[in-house]
Amino acid sequence: MADFYQHARLPTLHHLSTPDSTAREAELVELATKRPIALLLPALHLEMERPALPAILSQVGEVPYISEVVLSMNGMNAAQMKSANATCRKWLGSKKMTLLWNDGPALKAVNHQLSEAGAQGGKGANIWMGFAYLKAAGHDGIVISHDTDILNYSPSLLAKLGYPIAHPRLGYRFAKGYYSRVADRLYGRVTRLLIFPLIQAFQEVLGATPLLEHLESFRYPLSGEFAGDCDTLANFSIPSAWGLEIAMLCEVHRQLAVNEMCQVDLGFHYEHRHRQLEAGTLEHGLVGAAADVARCLAYQVLRDSQESAAESLLRLVLERYRNRSLEWMDRYEHVALLNGLHYDRAEEALAVAAFSEALLVLTKSVAAEGLHAPQMRPAPAAALKEYPDLGRQILAAAVPS
């Protein structure tokens, strides 16, 4: 059953009923005549061979208020790019589509202009390039973005994210989606067992700073689903890899007033391709992603502290995290037991141990190298202004269909 609890700091738009989809669609079509709505999808080429992406694009092709789909992709060669462009075009039907080949020669050259850190690839780099393309193309409207591995996708997700930005009575400039990650068990380990207890640990060491209170207020800070007006998003400085979601929420805090941001209950159990655990092991990719997220969070929280104090602060945070993560494990075990869900405590403990090790490695690297931005890129709008030819290069590299 949905609740209507409002966090004291962050407006929360709950899923309490299901509006008439025809009426809501007609309303968004009318609103989109004033502010066009583009959909930005970051993806690896591997998604072309999985079931989620074709189902997503086939449904998006039927959504009348989406004016354009921007596929920002990497992990492919020239032949794969041409095939992906043709295949996605087929799935989308007549909907306008642009493909950004992020590891192709033209956009690699663009990335290298952004410094060696900016040249790194990843989801953040794909999102950044999508923002830069839309800004350079003169998109004067709204951008919606979501992950491309959603197995139980519905276009209602687009309406829920786009409506708070499009409707003039609401007046939001950024909306963050949240949802449940439950099947026969609880998923979302990085959020449940790293981010939530780590934010609590930072609060115990640093106090309830405004940024930490802001991050704490989000129900699912690592969700990949968000929307905003293009000008706002193009002014966000974000990293190239997995720290994207945390960095974006920090930019929201620094650039927007509370009444200009919200979180939206997307109203469904999010089902996607889960990272599998084997007995006694933890997938390397999951730990690597967690380490990137932790590094980004530490940088964002400590960037205004004296650098000489960063190591000692992190050691205190790590100590608090080890205690708090065990408490969060207990909480989720109780949730699982009450709901009759499968719960493997040994598997959860393995994840916490891996996250603790990632935090220890981070602490040691800060001691050796200092606190630094994890592959941070300048905001797209700033980069387009600093490099006058950058926009032309991105537009020339975009592959229309």
pLDDT tens profile 226-285: 999 999 999 999 988 878 999 999 999 999 999 999 999 998 777 765 455 444 455 566
CATH number, domain containing residue 296:
3.90.550.10
pLDDT in tens, 126-152: 999 999 999 999 999 999 999 999 999
The answer to whether residue 222 sits within a structural domain is: yes
Tens of pLDDT along 16-42? 888 888 999 999 999 999 999 999 999
State how many domains the chain has.
1
> Which tokens hold the place of 382?
């700033």
What are the CA-CA distances from residue 373 to residues 30, 228, 301 (Å)? Answer: 42, 24, 11
In this structure, is residue 395 part of a structural domain? Answer: yes
2 inside domain: no
What's the pTM value of the predicted model, to 2 decimals? 0.94
Percent over 70 (pLDDT), the chain: 93
Does any domain span residue 106?
Answer: yes
pLDDT of residue 263: 97
* 3 found inside a domain: no
Q: Where does the pLDDT of residue 120 fall: very low under 50, low under 70, confident under 90, or very high at 90 and above?
A: low
Return d(Cα 48, Cα 54) in angstroms, integer: 7
Query: Six-digit token pair at 335?
Result: 């949730």
Q: What is the pLDDT of residue 93?
A: 95
Name which of 63, 74, 4 is nearest 29 in CA terms: 63
What's the CA gap between 63 and 81, in Å, rounded? 25
Strand-pair partners of 298: none
| 230 occurs within a structural domain | yes
In a domain, 276, yes or no: yes
* Residue type, position 43, single letter: A
**Contact (CB, 8 A) for 178 and 220:** yes
Average pLDDT over residues 371-384: 86
| Host domain of residue 231 | 12-400
Q: What is the pLDDT of residues 28-86, one digit of tens each?
A: 999 999 999 999 999 999 999 999 999 999 999 999 999 999 999 999 999 999 999 99
Flag whether 225 is in a domain: yes
Encoded amino acid at 255, one letter: Q
